[in-house]
């Protein structure tokens, strides 16, 4: 535990997928780092040298602890910090509106322990204006002046879980401060932990940059998802189309269709932007709404295609065994947040199918209170299932062998070899 009065280079608030890699890189850079989380379970796990996020191994956590990292639930550590970075979740409320509860709670915690000279940075993805309109007034309640006594900035996180090439250090970091002095202070901090820092004009530009990146993905995925539907009707292999278009060396970036969008960013963040445009300006952000409609419709479309494929071999969906292969939102990681596999399983179960699953990263899977059976031997289950659906193409899957064993297989990722029993989305 840190000694009272001892100075800390960094306190990271929120030790999840975003906060922990930041803390790790800061430890590697020789900074004295403490992590603060409200979840005592997370703090205890880290203290036991165990990692709970995909991008860090237990050995990584052990190395952090050896470098002096401490995880705690005690907010008093904030008063010892030179820099505080907030990495708490920004989910949607039940009615689809942004839920800034965790950000506001973290802001109140920081404000309660703030000392002169501290740099406070928000990394949680949020709508433009959050840093200035929500965070700034709370920090100023301390009587300390932004840009003079304390420094405030926003810096979007760009972590891509499971990406073997781009990690924390070699992904450029956008930084926008409340004042030029705040931008300068935040830039100087991030230069300690990343190779390239990109200063933005202000906090709003930095906040909006993140939303542009995610909305761009959301819209382009929706474009190919819509094309997937009519390419199927027209008997055109869209994956081959994308392969050909991708040979253009300029002006084109490939996006791929799939069973829907998942993860913490794409299905959620654009809502923050469309909510703010509607609330502040009174008109919709139509691209986001259309993308949402198309991407959210993909799980139903997949179920419809499963039903049609079974129908072609004279089987009803009711009573058929449907094996879902890969249920995480992304290949080669264990994160299931917002995975389209969940609505697909739910819709299939509602229609009377016997749903079973396999995923090397998911030992137990519960969808809306229903625990699904995980198959023990994948090859055997693929052979026996009425239909197998490849939802996530984890690289450990031997797709050639599985494709040959399956009597019927729907490939939602365009990853299977051409075989008579395999149908593409």
Ligand X SMILES: NC(=O)c1ccc[n+]([C@@H]2O[C@H](COP(=O)([O-])OP(=O)(O)OC[C@H]3O[C@@H](n4cnc5c(N)ncnc54)[C@H](O)[C@@H]3O)[C@@H](O)[C@H]2O)c1
| Cα–Cα dist 54/69, whole Å | 19
- Return the residue of 22, 84, 100, 159 that touches ligand X, per CB under 6 A: 159
Choices 82-90, 247-255, 373-381, 409-417; region in contact with ligand X by CB under 6 A:
82-90
Q: Which stretch binds ligand X (CB under 6 A): 14-22, 199-207, 312-320, 351-359?
A: 14-22
- 264 sits near ligand X (criterion: CB under 6 A): yes
**Nearest distance in Å: CB 421, ligand X:** 35
Among 2, 10, 11, 14, binds ligand X (CB under 6 A): 14
Distance between CA atoms of residues 151 and 105, nearest Å:
19
One of 90, 295, 339, 393 touching ligand X (CB under 6 A): 90
For ligand X, give the closer residue by CB, 112 or 297. Answer: 112
Residues in contact with 408: Cβ distance below 8 Å, sequence separation at least 6, in sequence order: 309, 310, 313, 386, 387, 388, 421, 423
124 binds ligand X (CB under 6 A): yes
| Tokens describing residue 194 | 């990343």
17 binds ligand X (CB under 6 A): yes
Task: Mention every residue, 6+ apart, whose C-beta is less than 8 A from residue 302.
Answer: 259, 260, 340, 344, 389, 391, 410, 412, 425
Q: Should residue 106 be labelled a site residue for ligand X when binding is judged by CB under 6 A?
A: yes
Q: Is 87 a known active-site residue?
A: no
At residue 336, φ and ψ (nearest 5 deg) are: -105, 5
* DSSP per position, 155-183: ------TT-SS--STTS-EEEEESSHHHH
Q: Is 125 in the site for ligand X (CB under 6 A)?
A: yes
Query: Cα–Cα distance between 185 and 199 in angstroms, integer?
Result: 11
Q: How far is the CB of 172 from ligand X (least distance, A)?
A: 14
The residue from 161, 176, 199, 299 that contacts ligand X (CB under 6 A) is 161
339-366 b/e (C-beta count within 10 Å ≥ 16 → b): bbbbbbbbbbbebebbbbbbbebbeebe
194: which residues sit within 8 A by CB, 6+ positions away?
A: 25, 168, 169, 170, 171, 172, 173
39 lies in the binding site for ligand X (CB under 6 A): yes
Tell me which residue has its CB nearest to ligand X: 16
Q: Return the H-helix or E-strand segment holding 358.
A: strand 354-358
Of the listed 27, 87, 231, 265, which one is catalytic?
A: 265
* Size of the chain in residues: 425
* H helix count then E strand count, the chain: 15, 16
Range list of H helices, 297-422: 298-312, 341-350, 378-384, 399-405
38: contact with ligand X by CB under 6 A: yes
Give the one residue of 36, 77, 317, 389 binding ligand X; rule: CB under 6 A.
36
Q: Which is nearer to ligand X, 207 or 226 (CB)?
A: 207
User: Are the C-beta atoms of 206 and 156 separated by less than 8 Å?
Assistant: yes
The single residue among 70, 78, 81, 87 that binds ligand X, judged by CB under 6 A, is: 87
* 12, 15, 27, 78: residue in contact with ligand X (rule CB under 6 A): 15
Give the nearest distance from C-beta 49 to ligand X in angstroms: 17
* Closer CB to ligand X, 36 or 56, in the complex: 36
Distance of closest approach, residue 117 Cβ to ligand X, in angstroms: 22
Nearer to ligand X, 333 or 425 (CB): 333
Please state the closest distance from residue 342 (CB atom) to ligand X, in A. Answer: 17
Q: To the nearest whole angstrom, how small is the minimum distance from the Cβ of residue 335 to ligand X?
A: 7
Of 8, 23, 102, 326, which one interacts with ligand X (CB under 6 A)? 102
End-to-end CA distance of the chain: 54
Q: Check binding of 89 to ligand X (CB under 6 A).
A: yes
Q: Report the DSSP beta bridge partners of residue 173.
A: 197
CB of 174 to ligand X, least distance (A): 12
Q: Interface with ligand X includes 37 (CB under 6 A)?
A: yes
CB 346 within 8 A of CB 353: no
Enumerate binding residues for ligand X (CB under 6 A). Answer: 13-19, 36-39, 42, 87-90, 102, 105-106, 109, 124-125, 157, 159, 161, 264-265
Which residue numbers are catalytic? 265
């Amino acid at each position: 535990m840190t000694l009272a009065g001892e100075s800390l280079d960094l306190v990271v608030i929120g030790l999840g997928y975003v906060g922990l890699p930041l803390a790790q890189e800061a430890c590697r850079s020789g900074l004295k780092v403490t992590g603060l989380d409200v979840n005592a379970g997370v703090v205890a796990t880290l203290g036991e040298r165990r990692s709970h996020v995909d991008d860090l191994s237990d050995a990584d956590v052990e190395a952090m602890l050896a470098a002096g990292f401490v995880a705690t639930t005690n907010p008093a550590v904030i008063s010892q910090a030179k820099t505080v970075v907030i990495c708490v979740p920004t989910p949607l409320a039940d009615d689809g509106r942004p839920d800034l509860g965790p950000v506001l709670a973290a802001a109140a915690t920081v404000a309660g322990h703030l000392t002169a000279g501290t740099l406070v940075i928000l990394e949680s993805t949020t709508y433009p204006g959050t840093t200035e309109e929500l965070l700034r007034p709370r920090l100023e309640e301390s009587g300390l002046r932004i840009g003079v006594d304390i420094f405030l900035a926003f810096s979007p996180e760009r972590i891509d879980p499971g990406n073997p090439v781009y990690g924390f250090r070699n992904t450029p970091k956008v930084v926008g401060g409340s004042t030029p002095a705040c931008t300068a202070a935040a830039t100087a901090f991030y230069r300690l932990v990343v190779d390239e820092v990109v200063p933005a004009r202000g906090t709003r530009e930095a906040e909006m940059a993140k939303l542009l990146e995610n909305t761009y993905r959301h819209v382009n995925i929706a474009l190919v998802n819509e094309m997937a539907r009519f390419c199927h009707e027209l008997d055109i292999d869209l994956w081959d189309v994308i392969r050909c278009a991708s040979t253009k060396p300029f002006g084109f970036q490939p996006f791929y269709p799939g069973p829907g969008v998942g993860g913490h960013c794409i299905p959620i963040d654009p809502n923050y932007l469309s909510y703010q445009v509607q609330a502040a300006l009174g008109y919709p952000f139509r691209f986001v709404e259309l993308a949402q409609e198309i991407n959210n419709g993909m799980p139903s479309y997949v179920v419809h295609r499963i039903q049609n494929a079974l129908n072609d071999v004279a089987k009803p969906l009711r009573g058929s065994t449907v094996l879902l292969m890969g249920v995480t939102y992304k290949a080669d990681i264990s994160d299931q947040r917002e995975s389209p596999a969940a609505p697909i399983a739910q819709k299939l179960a509602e229609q009377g199918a016997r749903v079973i699953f396999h995923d090397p990263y998911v030992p137990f899977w519960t969808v809306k209170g229903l625990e699904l059976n995980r198959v023990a031997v994948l090859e055997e289950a693929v052979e026996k299932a009425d239909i197998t659906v490849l939802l996530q193409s984890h690289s450990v899957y031997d797709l050639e062998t599985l494709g040959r064993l399956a009597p019927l297989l729907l490939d939602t990722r365009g990853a299977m070899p051409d075989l008579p029993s395999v149908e593409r989305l």
